[in-house]
Amino acid sequence: MTASSTKRRRQLPWLHRHGRTVIAGIAGTGLVLTSYLTVVKLTGAKAACPTEGCDRVLNSPYAEVLGIPLPLIGMLGYGAMLLLALAPLVTQQARKDLQVQIEEWSGLLLVAGGAAMATFSGYLMYVMVSEIRETCLYCLGSAFFSLSLFGLALSSRRWDDLGKPIFTAIGLAIITLVGTLGVYATPSGSSSNGSEMFTIKTTSGPAEIALAEHLTKTGAQEFGAYWCPHCHEQKELFGKEAAAKLPYVECDPNGKNAKPDLCRAAGIRSFPSWKIGGKLYEGVTPLDRLADLSGYQGDRTFRQGSLQELPNRAAPIPEPAPSP
């Protein structure tokens, strides 16, 4: 680099000279954050969070897109932004014309990626506040990172034609918003007619059937929704025959024989939830524990085992529409 080019670079605003480094730092932090959340989501572990809101949001029906965990999508997005930010920095020894092209195209792609991430994060913030009604600190942090990346990508360089990145950002924002609204038209891709989303593949033994009958006889209740994957996990523990005998209450207004008012009156906050002896227990519950809670004294040779190590998985419910 010549003395004149060095002088010209020093005359540039600080953000123009170091913007890529700042973007890389934020994207790298977001990559670490979403990598951790991906591990939490895939393993069913509990997130390190001062409130329960983080786990409720991460296990909500909005936490997956077409079966793909949102943290994994975020991890890929931050990874791409990190590579784009570093591209001109690692090609400084390339030909001048090639380096200019790399900086030009990577800058435009940073704006496009930042606009898409900021739009998607904005929608998720709306869902978190209006539907899930929980606070997820990780989600707030990721939204702040996404918005910062977009702002920095747009303002950290001098554009010959400012209309190009602005129209690119607007176009990507519209495409992202339309696609997001399409994917989330119904939670977790659930069917619009309220039919069962899953098929129970396990079979019941005498112990599972006896426990299901005991739960019904003693007035226990299982609250869930037809689209809830964790509710399906609970039914798989019982098996097909026993699941048909469970005291199940459908909470989604679009579900079959739905009783959303009963769910609201019971204070249900996540699916599945069990009400036994007047107390609520959230999450997929091992059969041995259900037997203990309900005072079941019969056969306990459950085909799925005791499963005491089963993580407490539960999906927070979207706010149901008010009754007319």
Sketch the domain layout of the chain as residue ranges: 3-185, 206-316
Fold of 3-185: de novo design (two linked rop proteins) (1.20.1440)
Say whether the peptide bond before residue 272 is cis (omega within 30 degrees of 0): yes
Would you state the pLDDT for residue 10? 56
Count of alpha carbons within 13 angstroms of residue 290, beta-carbon side: 35
Give, for all 324 residues of the chain, the pLDDT tens digit: 444 445 555 567 877 788 889 999 999 999 999 999 999 888 878 889 888 778 878 877 788 888 788 999 999 999 999 999 998 877 666 567 677 788 888 889 999 999 999 999 999 999 888 777 778 899 999 999 999 999 999 988 888 888 888 999 999 999 999 998 888 765 444 444 445 557 888 899 999 999 999 999 999 999 998 878 788 889 989 999 999 999 999 998 888 899 999 999 999 988 899 999 999 999 889 999 999 999 999 999 998 755 444 445 555 555 444 443
Which of 223, 282, 277, 214 is CA-nearest to residue 245? Answer: 214
Would you state the pLDDT for residue 308? 45
Count of alpha carbons within 13 angstroms of residue 37, beta-carbon side: 29
Tell the burial category of 202 from Cβ atoms under 10 Å away from its Cβ (0-12, 13-18, 19+): middle
Superfamily in which the 206-316 domain is placed by CATH: Glutaredoxin (3.40.30.10)
Would you state the pLDDT for residue 266? 93
Tokens of 190: 């659930």
| Cα 26 to Cα 30: distance, rounded to the nearest angstrom | 6
Report CA-CA distances (Å) from 142 to 32, 74, 200, 271: 11, 9, 36, 26
Angle subtended at Cα 228 by Cα 223 and Cα 229, rounded to the nearest 5 degrees: 120
Would you state the pLDDT for residue 255? 84
Would you state the pLDDT for residue 78? 96
